[in-house]
Amino acid sequence: MFRPLTNTVLVSPQISVEDVARAKEMGVSFILNNRPEGESADQTPGDDIAEAAAAAGIGYAAVPVNHSGFAPWQLDGMDEALGSATGGGGKLLAYCRSGTRSTLLWALARARAGDNPDALSDLAAAAGYDLSPVRQIMDALGAAQ
């Protein structure tokens, strides 16, 4: 269920409260919820995941991404979550409905930080995700460096 993008970043479709313990066992120290509340009737509420994360000693933040696109504040939220997780030697688990929006957000944040878009695309593809919907934005963000 958890798909590695890198050694320190995992993405996933919607997680359950029970998945939080599994994430902890895998070294996850921060969970980033990229799913808007109430997106579907079957999703686990973010507050439930946040409570389970707190009980497990895992950081948690919600940076919802809907289908209208990405904003700078969302990239900032991904950067903060990455820093919180990996700064302490842990891993980040980001999730949404399918893992796609979390992957696209990660790629945009990393491209803005100067990572190579081709390398990011290869990492995403290895995890089963396609970055082509945001490739032009990644290239523009990288060119702005």
CATH number of the CATH domain containing 63: 3.90.190.10
Length of the chain: 145
Q: Say which DSSP state 8 is in.
A: S
Determine the pLDDT at residue 61. 97
For the chain, how many structural domains are there in total? 1
Determine the pLDDT at residue 145. 67
Predicted structure pTM score: 0.96
Determine the pLDDT at residue 88. 83
- Within a 13 Å sphere around the CA of 103, how many CA atoms are in the beta-carbon half? 29
Look at residue 17 and tell me whether its pLDDT is greater than 90. Answer: yes
The whole-chain average pLDDT of the chain stands at: 95
Determine the pLDDT at residue 8. 96
The answer to whether 65 and 74 have CB atoms below 8 angstroms apart is yes
Percent pLDDT > 70 in the chain is: 99
* Residue range 132-145: mean pLDDT, rounded: 88
Q: 117 - beta bridge partners?
A: none
Q: Which domain holds residue 126?
A: 3-143
Q: Say which DSSP state 22 is in.
A: H
Look at residue 1 and tell me whether its pLDDT is greater than 90. Answer: no
Determine the pLDDT at residue 67. 84
* β pairing state of 3-4 and 9-12: antiparallel
Query: Residue 92, SS3?
Result: strand
